[in-house]
Amino acid sequence: MKILGIETSCDETSVGIINDKGEILSNLVYSQVQKHAPYGGIVPEVASREHVKAIGWVYNLALEQARTNLKEINLIAVTAGPGLQGPLLVGISFAKGLSLALNIPLIGVNHLMGHIYSCMIEDTAFKPPFLALLITGGNTLITLVEDIFVHKILGSTRDDAAGECLDKAARLLGLGYPGGPAIEKAALGGNASYYRLPVPLKKEDSLDFSFSGLKTAVYYLVEELKKNGKEIQVNHLSASVQEAVFSSLLDRLEKAQDKTGVEKIAVVGGVASNERLKYRLREFTEKRHLVLSVPSPALCTDNGVISAFVGLLKHSYNRIDNNIIDAQPFLTLQE
């Protein structure tokens, strides 16, 4: 059995193919980053058009790299949401066309689940129960995965996502888009104590997150430095922002682990590709003798394999619903 996964929820056009053991046969990702960079963020209309242009060749190349022909594909899985409406519709329409023309079953998948279960693709021994910290450009949440498809959300962001905060701070610092990798690079050699920034909600017992206050603090700090004619030490400020965001993430993880006693931790989504964060996560989990799973960067950022993998899980756990697949921009983890 082979599963073809399609992902177009944001600014990556991706098709991935896996087999029934969850092994990756190909994972083609066309990143539109260069198209959006001049605007400092994603322009939905531009993203939709780019997906339309790219989906055909990305699909062909994914089949070619997997040395697979269409007759070997038994299931198509496509991201149904959350994400941008236009971009989602491109992937869904393409998937529906394929499914109809070739008579291959089609499943819609929740992109948040794609990220959450990405921790099991390479690390095949990693199984529930585990705590999953999901950190992307659009979402930040911590959930207890009791079993496959059995989640209990412990906390989520009250405003901005962690990745969004890094993206906005990078913009204020003139580092361009996407901000997370730019901040990571700029922070190398920076001193995180040079500028003092607040660690969000540190004193609160709740497991929620909040990053808009931190973003505002960076804004006012930059404005004050400019007003006083002081030079902005971009490497120090990048290190401070990164450290404040990561301290907040670590603080919530520690509290969640205290509360649940769960000994396995997965950290997934685009921000999880950050080396400094992974260093801090290793420190934390080694100290507590916990098992940590962080996917390789190619599986942290958006890609088709994570959709295919949820398709495989849905198929294996008989969770193939009524098959009405439509773009659901605001889909949550519960649905």
Residues that bind ligand KG4 (CB under 6 A): 10, 136-138, 163, 166-167, 178-181, 184, 269-271, 273-274, 301-302
Nearer Cβ to ligand KG4 (63/121):
121
Residue with tokens 């100290």: 287
- Residue 331: Cβ-neighbour burial (10 angstroms; 0-12, 13-18, 19+): buried
**Inter-CA distances, 125 with 120, 132, 188, 292, Å:** 7, 16, 33, 11
Dihedral (CA of 128, 129, 133, 139) sign: positive
Nearer Cβ to ligand KG4 (63/141):
141
- Minimum CB separation from ligand KG4 for residue 149, in Å? 20
Nearer Cβ to ligand KG4 (26/136):
136
- Minimum CB separation from ligand KG4 for residue 67, in Å? 27
Report the C-alpha gap between 187 and 181 in whole angstroms.
10
Question: Quick check: 99 and 105 in contact, CB under 8 A?
Answer: yes
Report the C-alpha gap between 135 and 188 in whole angstroms.
21
Question: Quick check: 281 and 294 in contact, CB under 8 A?
Answer: yes
- Minimum CB separation from ligand KG4 for residue 22, in Å? 20
DSSP 201: T
Nearer Cβ to ligand KG4 (98/142):
142
Report the C-alpha gap between 157 and 226 in whole angstroms.
30
Q: How many helices (H) and strands (E) does the chain have?
A: 11, 10
- Minimum CB separation from ligand KG4 for residue 217, in Å? 18
Nearer Cβ to ligand KG4 (32/301):
301
Report the C-alpha gap between 14 and 326 in whole angstroms.
18
DSSP 232: P
- Minimum CB separation from ligand KG4 for residue 322, in Å? 26
Nearer Cβ to ligand KG4 (213/297):
297
- Minimum CB separation from ligand KG4 for residue 261, in Å? 28
- Minimum CB separation from ligand KG4 for residue 38, in Å? 17
Nearer Cβ to ligand KG4 (136/328):
136
Question: Quick check: 17 and 66 in contact, CB under 8 A?
Answer: yes
Report the C-alpha gap between 285 and 156 in whole angstroms.
21
Dihedral (CA of 38, 159, 279, 234) sign: positive
The tokens describing 222, both together, are 């930059």
Nearer Cβ to ligand KG4 (184/251):
184
Helix (H) or strand (E) holding 13: strand 12-19
- Minimum CB separation from ligand KG4 for residue 306, in Å? 9
Report the C-alpha gap between 203 and 29 in whole angstroms.
40
- Minimum CB separation from ligand KG4 for residue 74, in Å? 27
Nearer Cβ to ligand KG4 (271/310):
271
